[in-house]
A and B are shown apart, each in its own frame.
Chain A
């Protein structure tokens, strides 16, 4: 059993008080059984999405062969390309982007176009990420953060002056790599 010192008892009491495991939660649906494998990181989610899209493609393709007029939905109503041109091309070489679309997506896209932003693609988690900088990056000392006019050819560390260089030369094994990692310039072995 737990030691019965007053502090320990007080602590135990506090823990019992803030614990939410024992508190009844009547607002929860008792039949709610979540998917055991629902916890996914971003990488997995994005990977799954790509795979799903890829697996949709052949089925669309097949259905397109069975009913050749099916994917004309887009082009025929738009009127900016003739169905005569697009139909044989799409059956021979399926348009990947089009193939993965489902109905609701197409409808939404149509709505978007009516708003006047027809050229822009949808905003997704990946494509709103900022692009690499075009500006020339300034160099800063890896040790102190001051301006760094020099680079040590051996460790590839940037440094401020000869005293810092002395420090670099006395760094232990692997420390230089850690400094590089802080700048994202370390070597990654795969």
Chain B
């Protein structure tokens, strides 16, 4: 056993005890074009008797914790279509690709080069080398059961081979499509009378224990009726009693008896062999009138030995099943345990045959068939009567007391065997045991009591038995052959009607398929916000109701060319979720404006997994604010922003109007307020303000007011930080950041950037702020300010990154840069003429 023992045990627990997990590889990455988000797979090599299969398994946890983590995704039998190899990955010495080929399928797995992977690969290769005698379909029959896994399998056209199992999560039309075929079959069965009519077929059933004798002419038995039957089912027991037959299941008698049968069939019809099956001495041949042969389909055979060790074929049953038109037929020839007292063993044999007959390719039990004909040497004897008594009644042609003593009749009344079968009235004398070549009951020393060991029974609808007899003139064996003639109603499909019904059912299924698509309704596909203002969050809720019949998995998905499923001003909670049928889910859209936008507009795509997409339009007008406006515009605005008329605003924005202020009026108001009231305040830039105070400051600045604002000083401090953080562009333009950081160890270099590179207005703002901060630091005894803290805080804001905090490693450089301007006197800089 390979792989970590714990992991192996977990995987093993997913399988039944006769399916041995030989090796697992827990972390193989499936390289797919489309790429699932999670492409990790567990590979498991599983052995059943003499065959192997490779299971590709999804796991919630890697390594798996419990078998419930595991979902089988794909099964690949290691048959002649299976190949595998490895290929190196260029430039990668850690990993290797393990390729699995099956017919047209290629599964490349990236695995780490390790003892785990090399052991696993060699186990698979070895398993592939272990070649059963021949690849019969049936050796992989154990894989069949996985086809029905969770009813999620949709495509199983191939009876064997690669079974791609659809992932449950993605199953579309859950509940119907997975079970599409069985649903169709069921519906068609219900409607069968609509497209079929009954046609009578005559079926001749014969059974004979031939006591190992070579064949004789059989015409008197098989062609005893005037009219040729449509179907023959002829069963023999003890075809060959030689040791070779018993040990090796080899005999020449099969052919000889088959020839004898073919020669003896009714001369007025031509017959074709539907199937011939033999287990040691138990042989069954089914023939059909050639004209019906084309209506036979899905022929399958099976054999069950119940002899020594429950295996050897000297006792047991052989079966042939097929469909004739629309009726399924099953013929069972059985030879049950011998000896008078062994009736319970015979019952047991009968149950074993029922239990173990399975027609692998068509996994049906005997009793699943519309009509079953059970024939053979059932070996039930006559008890409660002495041999002499039996012979006495028989000589008087009084069968009744003997039939009452028949074990089969008794066991059937007790429902111990063949309980739901019918048998015709027995009007012939017992068929066992005779002296060879005579019609005389056993005269040997044992003088066995005569018995009706050879019987024919049936179950199913529309079966009428017209004859049940023995054939005394057949004398080569110690048994007499028995035959029965049936008139059986076979359901014949009217093709035209069938097509119509089939079509109808399909249409209904299509309709159901649509009905089983996930369905939801949304109470509104338009989310309109009232006037959206800076730093004043608004939210709107919508309700998604699952009006369908299956789980609705929803998710807001990204549109092409977008970087996310929604714009940065919007937050959707939850943006992904799952709603049960009949239930609802509230979705909150929260808008928080931090950009200089005129209006908000976006179309969101709400996707239902396996279903439709809905568009939700989000819109709203925005109110301008000085907080998100450029320094250049603010310095040109003659009056507060919201009092500007559109022309004035446009002129300011396009820099057509003259610069009126050396620093924005709003900035001056904030700094002046802090200068007047805040120089002695502790933790000035460290306490969070109430958002409503920020909003009041915003309105005070945007609308303009002559009255000083009355808010806590900390709110004004925070407003200053916000103002500097949200200006349309940072005070120090992005393109200078790297130069500033590079220069940060040298004051002169820093000064040069400010003096030479910074635009006038930005330089004014920068120096104005630095001077205010220096002023603040002069009062550090009272306000507790500290130059390094301020340098870090304002450095980060004045040189803010396009995406906030995306370069934390640069913070130290920014702080060092600003530090110079807080500890050196800047007054000289203010009067430096602009060189540009």
Do these two chains really belong together in a complex?
no
Q: Which residues of B contact A (CB under 8 A)?
A: none
A binding-site residues for B, Cβ under 8 Å: none
